[in-house]
Amino acid sequence: MDKALVSIIMPVHNGATSIGSAIESVLQQVHQEWELIVIDNASKDDSAGIARSFNDDRIIVAQEERIGVAFARNKGLDLARGSFICFLDADDRLPESSLSSRLHLFARQEALGAVDGQVIREGGAHQWSPKIKGDVFQNLLELNDGAFTGITWMIKSEIVKHLRFNTALSHCEDLYFFITCAKKGLQYDFVELPVYEVVGSEGSAMSQLRGLEEGYAQLLRLLEKDFTALINIKELKQKVRRIMWRSYLKQGKVLPALRVFFSSLPS
């Protein structure tokens, strides 16, 4: 796997203050056989110019004028040439062994389709670790958090060759994408090392939570339509209600927490 090309897809929208640090984390990877595909998603700042300023042939900068991270990631998938695909948001970072540690696991287990790992916060504080292995399709359908916390998987490119992100989703598009990747029995495993560092995110906590709530509502409608026989939609709605209730309370938003606790999500 020392020569395996990894395509790293980075969407960016007005990320001039953070994209330099994100790119630096890719340059510092132990595994140096990579291409970084930066998709400038209709930025109004100099995000694309900063990406181009690194003057490295492995960094490809492309434009996507349709606003939305799903459009940008799909553009990246269209351009990717690597045997493996992973994603990096422009305000986050990859720990230096993120690529190499996962490629080593792929080399030891040829049947694997995706490899994950620990997620840390800026400064090294632990945020999340995977908990399950193997065929994770049903766990993803049931919104269990043992194999998903965000866009952190490294995936064999052959699996995503004909798959793309659902551009109708404003949030949860990454979860639905991984569900579609896993539905044919994808084998998932993880390394006991950090593979993704969450640095920051744009926008207010309240607007993010409102978007997440609507994203879950959209996701549930899709799951009910596409996987009716495999899910208990009533249980999923209750689970999402609990997730949003806890999320609002964690941010000190008592009234929205009470609203979701005593009502159902939009149908």
Alpha carbon 120 to its chain centroid, in Å, reads 14
**CA dihedral (155, 157, 159, 161) positive or negative:** positive
- Structural contact between residues 39 and 72, judged by C-beta atoms closer than 8 angstroms: yes
Dist CA 164 CA 147 (whole Å) = 20
Task: Select the CATH number that applies to the domain covering 6-198 from these four: 3.90.550.10, 3.30.1370.10, 3.30.300.170, 3.30.565.10.
Answer: 3.90.550.10
Q: What is the pLDDT of residue 247?
A: 87
Q: What is the 3-state secondary structure (H, E, C) of the chain?
A: CCCCCEEEEEEECCCCCCHHHHHHHHHCCCCCCEEEEEEECCCCCCHHHHHHCCCCCCEEEEECCCCCHHHHHHHHHHHCCCCEEEECCCCCECCCCHHHHHHHHHHHCCCCCEEEEEEEECCCCEEECCCCCEECHHHHHCCCCCCCCCCCCEEEHHHHCCCCCCCCCCCCHHHHHHHHHHCCCCEEEEEEEEEEEECCCCCCHHHHHHHHHHHHHHHHHHHHHHCHHHCCHHHHHHHHHHHHHHHHHHCCCHHHHHHHHHCCCCC
The pTM of this model reads 0.92
Strand partners, 155: 85, 114
**CA dihedral (35, 41, 42, 43) positive or negative:** negative
For the chain, what are the domain ranges? 6-198, 205-262
List the structure tokens of 61: 């900068």
Q: What is the pLDDT of residue 188?
A: 98
List the structure tokens of 253: 């938003």
Q: What is the pLDDT of residue 256?
A: 82
Q: What is the pLDDT of residue 58?
A: 98
pLDDT tens by residue, the chain, 267 residues: 779 999 999 999 999 999 999 999 999 999 999 999 999 999 999 999 999 999 899 999 999 999 999 999 999 999 999 999 999 999 999 999 999 999 999 999 999 999 999 999 988 999 999 999 999 999 999 999 999 999 999 999 999 999 999 999 988 999 999 999 999 899 999 999 999 999 965 554 556 888 888 999 999 999 999 999 999 999 999 999 988 988 888 888 888 888 887 775 544
